[in-house]
Amino acid sequence: MKRTPKTYHVKSFGCQMNVYDGERMAELMAADGMVATDDAGAADLVVLNTCHIREKATEKVYSDIGRIRKTQGEAGRAAPMIAVAGCVAQAEGAEIVRRAKVDVVVGPQAYHNLPRLVADAAAGTPALDTDMPLASKFGQLPARRRVGPSSFLTVQEGCDKFCTYCVVPYTRGAEVSRPFAAIVDEAKALVDAGAREITLLGQNVNAWTDGERDLGALIRVLDRIPGLARIRYTTSHPNDMTQGLIDAHRDVESLMPFLHLPVQAGDDRVLRAMNRSHTRDSYLRLIDRIRAARPDIALSGDFIVGFPGETEAEFAATLSLVDAVGYAQAFSFKYSPRPGTPAADMAGQVAAEVMDDRLRRLQAALNRDQQRFNAATVGARCDVLIERRGKLPGQMLGKSPWLQSVHLTASAAIGDIVTVQIAHAGPNSLGGIVTAGLAA
Ligand code: 5AD
Ligand code: SF4
């Protein structure tokens, strides 16, 4: 028998949806009487909230479990209870108990049961719950606690797109939208708890609908919550970019001029093989419409290099798409075959050295554009939401409307929105001088 844990530590890997789920799991454990600790090496219960998207992310879970046990053993402590949550839990289920002897395995749609599973494990049986019940977990979670100035709110989960390389439709299930009223209530609770910015989350966030409204209509309602200064959303699929959402970018001042819109590749044959259901041209035309609605919008994307069968000429089409769009920032990955996905069995798997070379060239182009975008904001005035203290004395860090990190020296408080003039730009952050917004 393990003892009932008194302290807990949640470690989230992967996407922002995991960060949100991790916060909600922490709230559950706190409501159950446990106390948070920042130190995984000292916690009675360690929850690893895992990511399955690429092979490296999955392997990290197993090495982390080993490391936590070792640290606690070296400190002479009893072995901690280990719970594996998130997408690896969903995908591997009982296999994790076999391979790593963990105490609890809980999937992303079942974590509201975590306190019960922990109690079961304390009573001596490894506890597993990877159900995807029809009734949503959200109604069974405790109220939101104090949050930082920038907070996440999951409004949509799951994916029906079945891109051929991707595990998400299997680990997170089908597309489900949370009800309108529940989202508005949670947004108000977050603002009451200290949020000034809310990022709406979903694997396909722009597929959110309540049957009548689209995400643009939801954003127009959230815009009216007093005290909520900024709204963002991520991640979007090009095919779910409704006219209503594009119009919201034109009309809603609190909707920040930033859009993460993954394209993955620039060649139509590759896009077809990926089952992306958009073409290079339809994506570029969509970008034109979005820019017409909001000319200063900063664009971000995701890219995969070395998808099975990708030729040099097809990869060159990705580079030329990058040139055509001019991203403000982006994420790029080497293709990683995921067991059970169609692409894992496709002919023409690309050699590791070729992928390395393509990733290097793609990242050079993306970094060049990011630097260009940052440099173009020098001299501009913009609002910065202060999120935390910097490393230097008196330094504060925040975000520009275009999601750039801005550092400044001022007696601003966390949660303040100050107007700054951008004085210099580096590859990853900007320096600003406050011109307004501070209390006298
Ligand atoms: N290999 C590499 N990258 C992947 N992504 C999703 N699945 C894979 C995979 N099997 C990337 C996509 C997606 C992002 C979240 O992760 O670019 O948009
Ligand atoms: Fe994965 Fe494609 Fe769904 Fe995005 S849209 S989660 S890449 S299947």
d(CA 190, CA 205): 19
CA of 360 to the centre of ligand 2 (A): 24
43 lines ligand 2 (CB under 6 A): no
In Å, how far from its chain's centre is CA 47?
18
Q: Cα–Cα distance between 377 and 306 in angstroms, integer?
A: 33
Of 65-74, 160-169, 342-351, 355-364, the least confident: 65-74
Residue span of the structural domain in which 395 resides: 381-438
Residue by residue, DSSP assigns 103-146 as: SEEE-TTSGGGHHHHHHHHHTTS-EEE----SS-GGGGSPPP--
Q: Which tokens is 287 given?
A: 């970008």
Nearest CA to ligand 2 atom 2: 163
Report the chain's mean pLDDT, rounded to a whole number. 95
Per residue in 39-64, pLDDT (tens digit) is 998 999 999 999 999 998 888 999 99
Distance CA 199, CA 153 (A): 6
Q: From CA 406, how far away is CA 329, in angstroms rounded?
A: 15
The torsion defined by the Cα of 195, 197, 203 and 209, in degrees rounded to 10, comes to: 90
Least reliable range by pLDDT among 1-5, 78-82, 92-96, 152-156 = 1-5
What tens digit of pLDDT does each residue of 293-322 get?
A: 999 999 999 999 999 999 999 999 999 999
Ligand 1, from 15, 51, 163, 165: best to mutate by most atoms within 8 Å of Cβ? 165
> What pLDDT shows up at residue 133?
87
Task: Please state the domain count of the chain.
Answer: 2
pLDDT band at residue 250, thresholds of 50, 70 and 90?
very high
Asked whether 333 lines ligand 1 (CB < 6 A), one says yes
In a domain, 215, yes or no: no
126 pLDDT band (50/70/90 cuts)? Answer: confident
Of residues 236, 307, 229, the one with CA closest to residue 274: 307
Going by the annotation, the residues of the binding site for [4Fe-4S] cluster are: 15, 51, 87, 159, 163, 166
The per-residue pLDDT for 439 is: 52
Domain end among 112, 129, 146: 129
What is the arithmetic mean of pLDDT over 146-153?
Answer: 92
Beta bridge partners of 60: none
Cα–Cα nearest to 154, from 112, 199, 189, 124: 199
The DSSP result for 171-203, as a single string, is HT-S-EEPPHHHHHHHHHHHHHTT-SEEEEE-T
Does the residue 47 lie in any domain? yes
CB 307 near ligand 1, within 6 Å: no
CATH no. for residue 414?
2.40.50.140
Q: Does the Cβ of 271 fall within 6 Å of ligand 2?
A: no
pTM: 0.95
Closest-approaching ligand to the CA atom of 18: 1
**Within a domain: residue 134?**
no
Query: Do the domain assignments include residue 150?
Result: no
| Rounded percentage of the chain residues whose pLDDT exceeds 70 | 99
In this predicted model, what pLDDT tens digit does every residue of 372-412 receive, in sequence order? Answer: 999 999 999 999 999 999 999 889 999 999 999 999 998 88
pLDDT at 147: 84
Kindly state whether residue 433 falls inside one of the protein's structural domains. Answer: yes
Whether residue 109 has its Cβ less than 6 Å from ligand 1: no
CATH of the domain at 39: 3.40.50.12160
Tens of pLDDT, residues 278-297: 999 999 999 999 999 999 99
Given 69, 96, 129, the domain boundary residue is 129
In a domain, 387, yes or no: yes
* Residue 167 DSSP code: -
Indicate whether 368 belongs to any domain: no
Would you say residue 2 has pLDDT above 80? no
Q: Is residue 399 included in any domain, yes or no?
A: yes
The mean pLDDT of 273-277, rounded to a whole number, is 97
Assign residue 290 a region: left if phi > 0, alpha if psi is -120 to 50, beta otherwise?
A: alpha
Cα–Cα dist 330/99, whole Å: 35
Q: What is the pLDDT of residue 349?
A: 95
Q: Judge whether residue 80 has pLDDT over 70.
A: yes
Is the Cβ–Cβ distance between 298 and 329 less than 8 Å?
Answer: yes
- What does the chain come to in residues? 440
Nearest listed ligand to the Cα of residue 159: 2
pLDDT above 60: residue 440: no
- Picking from 63, 94, 129, the residue at the C-terminal end of a domain is 129
| Mean pLDDT confidence for 355-379 | 97
Contact criterion met (CB below 8 Å) for 105 and 127: yes
